[in-house]
A = this chain, B = another copy of it.
Amino acid sequence: MPATPIKRDSYHHGDLRAALLEAGEAVLSETGVAGFSLRQVARKVGVSHSAPAHHFGDANGLLIALATDGFRRFLTAMQRRRDQAPEEIRERIFASALGYLDFAQSSPALFRLMFNGDVCGPANQTLEQASHASFMHLADDVSALRQKSALEDASVMADVLASWSTVHGYADLLISGRMDTVQGLTPDEQEAFFRQVFMRVIA
């Protein structure tokens, strides 16, 4: 992971906003939400501690921005896997779920933040949209599988939430280190095991 540039020639940073997001994510994963502070993030970027206020207001503003950006990358992670999958609809849903796990495992702290609800409560429209988009990604494919819209049919909605709950719970248990079973396996074996688990739901 490339370090955020500490030195610069100009008085202005150039792209401080992006740099703060990057550093913010690093701080988040190093210290957790508990130790998160704007000053620490500023320090990491090599900028005055009052500079972040110009872009995010306060710490919560930065966290919301992080979560929003996180949801976009989350969706991308699912799409990337899905696009590589065979045409068959179940395979595509399974592939999206793998993308879900990819993201959770590569950015566990951010994943937690996004689904925490504490820091980013309601009241942020951009965040809500990004979050909703990633839900719809899964809902659409399950609807296609069932050839009926989840929004119209409660049974299809139950399918969607069963898939979603399963992959979400699996991800959360995985990153909290509670999946002893899977710990010793190779990536391929892990995928095969998760396939067993997930296919029980969309079979």
Bound Cα distance from A203 to B65, whole angstroms: 41
Oligomer: number of copies: 2
Measured CB to CB, the closest approach of chain B to A89, in angstroms, equals 17
On chain A, the number of residues with a Cβ less than 8 Å from chain B's Cβ atoms is 43
B residues within 8 A CB of A200? 158-159, 162, 200-201
In chain A, positions 87-120 with a C-beta closer than 8 Å to chain B are 112, 115-119
Within 8 A of B (CB), among A171-200: 171-173, 175-179, 181, 193, 196-198, 200
Give every chain B residue within 8 A of A197 (Cβ-Cβ): 158, 161-162, 165
List residues of chain B with CB within 8 A of the CB of A2. none
**Known contacts A33-B34, A154-B193, A200-B158: A173-B178 contact under CB 8 Å:** no
Give complex CA distance A136, B179 in Å. Answer: 13
* CA gap between A133 and B94 in the complex, in Å: 31
Question: Does A129 interact with chain B (Cβ within 8 Å)?
Answer: no
Fill in one digit per residue for A146-163: 1 if any B CB lies within 8 Å of its CB, else 0: 000000001101110110
Which residues of A are interface residues toward B (Cβ below 8 A)?
32-34, 36, 112, 115-119, 121-122, 131, 135, 154-155, 157-159, 161-162, 164-173, 175-179, 181, 193, 196-198, 200-201
17 A–B pairs (Cβ distance < 8 Å), ordered by A: A32-B119, A117-B175, A117-B176, A117-B177, A117-B178, A121-B177, A154-B196, A157-B181, A158-B197, A159-B200, A165-B166, A165-B169, A165-B197, A167-B169, A169-B171, A169-B172, A200-B200
